[in-house]
Amino acid sequence: MKIAWGITGAGHLLQDSVEILEMLSMDHKITVFLSGAAEEVIKMYGLYERVINVTGGYYRELVIEAEQKSSYPIAGRFSLGKYDLLVVSPTTSNTIGKIVNGIADTLITNIIAQAGKGNVKTYIIPVDLESGIIETVLPSKLELEICQKCETCAAATACPSAAITPRMEINLLQCQGCGTCQIACPFDAIKGGKKIKIHMRNVDISNTRKLYEFEELEVLKHPLEIKKLI
Ligand SMILES: Cc1cc2nc3c(=O)[nH]c(=O)nc-3n(C[C@H](O)[C@H](O)[C@H](O)COP(=O)(O)O)c2cc1C
């Protein structure tokens, strides 16, 4: 099968999505599409290399927002029905909000719109599904109450991306999620994968509900469901 997999800038369900993507790439040709935010966020969680590893070759490209400018010519593949399937997982509340309002001005919203026109079967996995509280995972974080404010910060010295301002914070836009800092800090002040609880906003849940009314796409709750459907 020729599959297109879109990733937006959500940390929630990101690891699960990359795992399913890796599994499917063994038997199928997959083109991966990253929103601008996805390109940043996927690095923060240390998953970028894994996505690079499943791409390479015709219809196995890694397509990034910045290289597509504003008209998204590659989306023509969808209006021409060149893919058997489009999966977007994880899908941010931002992208869901745009889809339900008919906006197609980003790489991901544009390929979804073109997939609708080209009759390409589309599965969307939103991160904001039901109201209430959800548990989600953070990228690396410097815990200031644990940090011993060392004169020479071992974590900052070890970081290959120079992403740490000693005694202050990690610049996530520079962080590659490699975890070197966590090993280097003798006081264990940098945590990766910390779980936090966040509240779902009504506007996001209401947008996700509207998505169920779209005939040209199907909403799934978890990327694992894709495995059963292919
Ligand atoms: C570390 C990190 C994690 C994020 N996780 C989420 C998330 O789980 N869900 C979400 O809707 N937005 C999340 N965001 C915010 C989105 O990246 C942001 O709204 C972005 O504009 C979405 O753009 P996109 O929909 O084009 O990918 C996260 C941002 C960062 C920096």
Q: What would the pLDDT profile of 88-146 be if each residue is shown by its tens digit?
A: 999 999 999 999 999 999 999 999 999 999 999 999 999 999 899 999 999 999 999 99
pLDDT of residue 193 exceeding 90, the answer is: no
Bridge partners (DSSP) listed for residue 7: 34
CATH class of 140-192: alpha beta
Distances (CA, A) of 120 to 78, 217, 222: 7, 9, 20
**Beta strands per DSSP E along 55-205:** 62-64, 85-91, 121-126, 133-137, 141-142, 164-165, 169-170, 190-191, 195-199
Q: 188, exposed or middle or buried, with CB in 10 Å at 0-12, 13-18, 19+? A: exposed
Report the pLDDT averaged over residues 174-192: 96
Report the pLDDT averaged over residues 184-200: 94
| Predicted pLDDT at 127 | 96
Whether residue 95 contacts residue 66, with contact meaning beta carbons closer than 8 Å, is answered with no
Residue nearest to atom 25 of ligand 1 (CA): 95
Ligand 1 mutation pick, 32, 41, 101, max ligand atoms within 8 A of CB: 41
Whether residue 80 contacts residue 118, with contact meaning beta carbons closer than 8 Å, is answered with yes
Report the pLDDT averaged over residues 3-7: 98
Cα 2 to ligand 1 centroid, rounded to whole Å: 27
51-85 pLDDT per residue, tens: 999 999 999 999 999 999 899 999 999 999 999 99
DSSP state of 107: H
Ligand 1 mutation pick, 15, 40, 94, max ligand atoms within 8 A of CB: 94
For CATH 3.40.50.1950, the residue range(s) in the chain are 2-131+200-229
Q: Is 3.40.980.10 the CATH number for 2-131+200-229? A: no
pTM summary value: 0.96
